[in-house]
Amino acid sequence: MSQENSTNTEKISFFRAWKRLKVRSKIYQIALHLLTLFAIGIIAAWVIYKLGLTNNNGGIDPNNRYLANYKEMSDLTDSSKIYSAQLQNYIQLAVLNQFFPTNAHLIYEADRELNDPEMVKRMVYASNMYMQETDNGKKFTQLLQEVNALMGRYPASTSTDNAIPWMNDPGWPALKRAMVNDAEKIRKAGELTGVDPRLIAACTVGEQIRLFNSHREDVKRYLGPAVMSVQSQFSLGVNGIKDFTAAAVERNLKDSTSVFYMGKKYEHILDYDTSQMHDITTARFNRLVDYRNHLYSFIYAGCILHQTMLQWKRAGYDISDRPDVLCTLFNLGFAASKPKDDPRCGGSHVSVGGRIYTFGVLGNDFYYSGELVDEFPMHKKLFAE
């Protein structure tokens, strides 16, 4: 019998024997074979693992040299050097935004949290590793070099002059110290009247600069020791508020029909203790000219600003984001506050260092100058809702 016939006969015998088996026996044999194969697989995998055939020894990244060449910033030991480093980072981010705005945005947002110029520089460096593979990356490098070259043509000035001319006047440092001394009271007045304290401070700065430069020799003895000057004739207190204006403020707080009405929550912020006085006019005068405590001057100023803003808003004109106009109207008074579609900055003329300014621009200058921002932080909204 040939080998082929013998093999076929064995197969036929196997299938006949398989068919004669019971179902349970068939299941048993199948399970036994599967378990045997599974065991062989496990043993084979263990042997491969032990022999180290699955190990990936890795390799040195092609960018290793680039990453190793990063140079940390040096001497970031004082605020001026940190500030300079941050400015350089902002230049890089501005250029990066031209070509890779996604990365510029992510790094900018990280910087807001970190406030670490070293980390921002390193983030830009890490992104630049891949950017050089693209046309935009090469353009980024080229533009950054051009910008740095242009900046190099204009070396950083060592001048301490302020870009706002009147802030270089000798009286300004003394007035700043006086404002710091009264910062807590200005903040309290802002809380009571629903007005950004920085806006109240802007009006005070305008009035004090006006007063100082109108009567320089008479007033500088008050500003010298960092104490704000208090007027006591026609315009009263550190904010130069007239008696009839203060009386109008008080009436407006109570009159719910007035266009100047601030709301029920503000009705009693200027109430008098009538049980201890006989003359409200005298009491009002004493409030405003008290040289030891300027709180009421700031409260009246806050009320004037809030009431004026509401008058315009009710007439359909929103000036709640215009410190220049609000300071102007504070200076000119209620009689000059006539809502219209083209509010203008102006007010009293003030001469400082041979240059003429208006009251409104003095207030606006201070508000947006960044001066005393720790004492009077800037807010997006100037009035409480």
Structure tokens at 37: 């194969």
How much is the pLDDT for 96?
93
CA angle, corner 43, sides to 39 and 46, nearest 5? Answer: 140
Contacts 24+ apart (CB under 8 A), 172-175: 172/209, 174/223, 174/224, 174/226, 175/205, 175/208, 175/209, 175/212, 175/223, 175/228
Q: Does one domain contain both 223 and 320?
A: yes
How much is the pLDDT for 249?
98
Distance set, CA 241 to CA 119, 214, 250 (Å): 51, 17, 13
Q: Does one domain contain both 254 and 189?
A: yes
Q: Does one domain contain both 358 and 209?
A: yes
Q: Which residues are bridge partners to 236 per DSSP?
A: 232, 241
How much is the pLDDT for 6?
58
Q: Is residue 129 part of a domain?
A: yes
Residues of the chain predicted below pLDDT 70: 1-26, 28-29, 31, 33, 39, 44-59, 61-67, 73-78, 214-234
d(CA 298, CA 152): 47
Domain count across the chain:
3
**Neighbour count for residue 197 (Cβ, 10 Å):** 23
Q: Is residue 14 part of a domain?
A: no
Q: Does one domain contain both 125 and 270?
A: no
How much is the pLDDT for 5?
56
How much is the pLDDT for 127?
86
How much is the pLDDT for 327?
97
How much is the pLDDT for 63?
65
- Cα dihedral 74, 79, 82, 83, rounded to 10, equals -140
| CA nearest neighbour of 301 among 253, 343, 240 | 240
Last residue within a domain, chosen from 151, 174, 200: 151
- Longest Cα pair distance anywhere in the chain, in angstroms? 142
Segments forming the whole domain that contains residue 100: 74-151
Q: Does one domain contain both 120 and 40?
A: no
Q: Does one domain contain both 289 and 335?
A: yes
Last residue within a domain, chosen from 107, 126, 151: 151
Q: Does one domain contain both 355 and 230?
A: yes
How much is the pLDDT for 220?
45
Average pLDDT for the chain: 84
How much is the pLDDT for 55?
55
How much is the pLDDT for 215?
57
